[in-house]
Amino acid sequence: MSYSSSSAGLVIRKAHILLSDDSWLLGDVQIRDGQIVRIASEIEETDDGELNAEGLTLLPGVIDPQVHFREPGLEHKEDLHSASHACAKGGVTSFLEMPNTKPITSTQAALDDKLQRAAQKSLVNYGFFIGATGENTADLLSVNPTPGIKIFMGSMKGDLLVDTEAALEPIFAEGERLIAVHAENQERIRQRKQLFAGFHDPSFHSLIQDNQTALEATQLALKLSKKYQRRLHILHLSTADEAQLLRQEKPAWVTTEVTPQHLLLNTSAYEKLGTLAQMNPPLKSPADNQVLWQALLDGVIDFIATDHAPHTLQEKAKRYPDTPAGMPGVETSLPLLLTQAMQGRCTVAQVANWMSKAVAKGYGIPNKGAIAVGYDADLVLVDLQSYYPVRREGLMTRCGWSPFEGWNLTGWPVTTIVGGEVVYDRGTFRDRPCGQALSFTGSTLSDAESSQDG
C-alpha cells in the first residue's frame, strides 16, 4: 500500500486536483469522518494518515447510473462482491443498479433485500431502481430509497416489459418520481425478428433493433413526459436520430445518457467480437458514434453510464440469437473516457462532469460528484502518464472478459476512496465492505437544466 492509515483521517498530498469549478490545483486534500474538510496547496503536518499522490490526478469518484449486477438470482454472472470490486478497480465509487434480477426488484421487500445484501458486500455506494411491471403502481409511488422507476419499453421478457402506450400512460400520470426508460419499440422488434428469422450472424442484431426501433420508443416516452411534465431520463441513447430529436426538443425535466460502447464501438465490432458485441440497444454505425459524441460535447446528452451487463463466456458462446445481450463496463469506463480526453477529443473536466457531477445533479444525490469542502470523500486518483492495455487477466468482473480487450488506455485508477476509506490501491482491495446506501432528493427542474451546463 502506498499510504499510511490513521484512525483520525487522511491527507492526500501533491495531487493534481480537479476542483468543483473545473479549475486545477496542485496540492493536498484532507479528509475527516468521510468528508473533505480542507483543500490547499500545502496542508501542514497532521496526525492523519498520508497518501502520496505525486504525479497523479485526483478526480471525483465515478457515479455509474446504469449497471446490472445480477444479485440476487444470477450470481454465476456477477454478484455485489465481484461487481463492487470491479467498481473499486475502475474508480466507480457509487452505482445505480437495475431491477432485472431474480426476483425482479418491483416491491419494497425486494428493494430492502438488495440494500441488505449490498450493506454486507459492497465496497462502494449503492442505489437500486424499482422496476415497473404495469401492475405495481402503488409500489412505484411508495418505495424508498430509490433513484427512480425503471421501465423496459422493449428488449425485455416477463413482468418487467411495459410496452404499450396504454400501460405506460398511468405510470407517467401518477407521481413525480424520476422515470428512466429503456427506449426500444418492442412491437417493431417482434416484427423484425420474424423478418430476420433463421439468420445467425450476430451483426443482424443491429438490423433487427434498428435506429427506428429506438427512435419510436424515445418519441413515445417524450410525448408522455411532456403531457405530464414528468421527470424523464432516457437510458443509453444509441442513435443519431434520437440525439437529433433531443437537440430540437428537450424539455428541462428530461435528461439522457450514453454508454462508452455506443460512443466508441459500432457495427464493425461484430467481425472481431461476434456475440460479445451484442447488447441492447445494439451498437449502431460510425455515423451514429459521431453524432452521439457531438451531442455529448454540446450538452444534449447529460452523462455517461456503462450499462454493465455481464454474461459468461459460455452463455455468449451460444449461437445468435440464443445469446444474451450485454457487456461489462465498470472497470474500463473511466480510462476509456480519459484516454479520449488525453487524445484531445474532450477535456478531463468534461469527463468528470459526465461521469460524476452531472449524474449527482440529475439524480439529486446530495454531497457527491465534486471535490469540494463538505462533500463526501468519494475520490479516484488516476495516472494520466502511463498507458496499459485492457487485459482479460486481472478483471474483477465475474464474467471475466471485456469488449475492449487489447485497447491501450491511460487514466487507470491507482487508488479509489469511498467515504474516506481506501477501497482500492495499486491492485489491493479493502477487505471489508464500506459502501453506503445513497439517498436521493430527486432532481428539480432547475437541477436538470443546470446538468446541461457542462
* Residue numbers annotated as active site: 307
The minimum distance between CB 65 and ligand DOR, in angstroms, equals 13
Q: Determine, following the binding rule CB under 6 A, whether residue 189 of this chain makes contact with ligand DOR.
A: no
Residues 168-187 close enough to bind ligand DOR by CB under 6 A: 182
> Vertex 404, ends 180 and 208: CA angle to 5°?
55
Rounded Cα gap, residues 327 and 261, in angstroms: 9
Instruction: Specify the residue, 292 or 381, whose C-beta has the smaller distance to ligand DOR.
Output: 292
Instruction: Specify the residue, 30 or 266, whose C-beta has the smaller distance to ligand DOR.
Output: 266
Q: CA distances (Å), 430 to each of 4, 434, 436, in order? A: 14, 9, 15
- Point out the residue whose Cβ comes nearest to ligand DOR: 326
What b/e readout covers 181-211, taking b as 16+ CB neighbours within 10 angstroms?
bbbbbbebbeebeeeeeeeeebbbbbebbbb
Q: Determine, following the binding rule CB under 6 A, whether residue 279 of this chain makes contact with ligand DOR.
A: yes
What residue ranges in 252-299 does DSSP mark as E strands?
Answer: 254-258
**Residue choice 280, 332, 339, 416 for contact with ligand DOR (CB under 6 A):** 280
Rounded Cα gap, residues 47 and 50, in angstroms: 9
Q: CA distances (Å), 104 to each of 68, 81, 251, 384, in order? A: 12, 19, 31, 40
Per-residue cell: 223: 410525448
The minimum distance between CB 277 and ligand DOR, in angstroms, equals 11
Rounded Cα gap, residues 149 and 129, in angstroms: 6
Give the other-Cβ count within 10 Å of 354's Cβ: 25
In which residue are the cell numbers 462532469 written? 353
**Residue choice 57, 105, 107, 155 for contact with ligand DOR (CB under 6 A):** 155
Instruction: Specify the residue, 30 or 155, whose C-beta has the smaller distance to ligand DOR.
Output: 155
Are 232 and 179 a contacting pair, CB within 8 Å? yes
Rounded Cα gap, residues 452 and 391, in angstroms: 35
Count, in order, helices (H) and strands (E) of the chain: 16, 19
Q: Determine, following the binding rule CB under 6 A, whether residue 68 of this chain makes contact with ligand DOR.
A: yes
Rounded Cα gap, residues 237 and 99, in angstroms: 19
- Return all residues near 169 (Cβ < 8 A) that are at least 6 apart: 224
The minimum distance between CB 154 and ligand DOR, in angstroms, equals 9
Closest CA relative to residue 279, chosen from 244, 247, 246, 236: 236
The minimum distance between CB 98 and ligand DOR, in angstroms, equals 7
Instruction: Specify the residue, 155 or 451, whose C-beta has the smaller distance to ligand DOR.
Output: 155
The minimum distance between CB 128 and ligand DOR, in angstroms, equals 14
Per-residue cell: 261: 460502447
Are 129 and 150 a contacting pair, CB within 8 Å? yes
Instruction: Specify the residue, 72 or 324, whose C-beta has the smaller distance to ligand DOR.
Output: 324
The backbone region for 170, taken as left when phi is positive above 0, alpha when psi lies in -120 to 50, beta otherwise, is alpha
Instruction: Specify the residue, 98 or 381, whose C-beta has the smaller distance to ligand DOR.
Output: 98
The minimum distance between CB 381 and ligand DOR, in angstroms, equals 31
Instruction: Tell me, residue by residue from 86 to 105, as one string, x for binding to ligand DOR by CB under 6 A and - for no binding.
Output: --------------x-----
Count of residues of this chain found to bind ligand DOR when the rule CB under 6 A is applied: 11
Per-residue cell: 116: 441488505
Rounded Cα gap, residues 211 and 199, in angstroms: 19
The minimum distance between CB 431 and ligand DOR, in angstroms, equals 29
Rounded Cα gap, residues 31 and 45, in angstroms: 13
The minimum distance between CB 324 and ligand DOR, in angstroms, equals 6
Instruction: Specify the residue, 184 or 302, whose C-beta has the smaller distance to ligand DOR.
Output: 184
Instruction: Specify the residue, 30 or 101, whose C-beta has the smaller distance to ligand DOR.
Output: 101
Instruction: Tell me, residue by residue from 303 to 342, as one string, x for binding to ligand DOR by CB under 6 A and - for no binding.
Output: ----x-x--------------xxx----------------
Binding site for ligand DOR (CB under 6 A): 68, 100, 155, 182, 279-280, 307, 309, 324-326
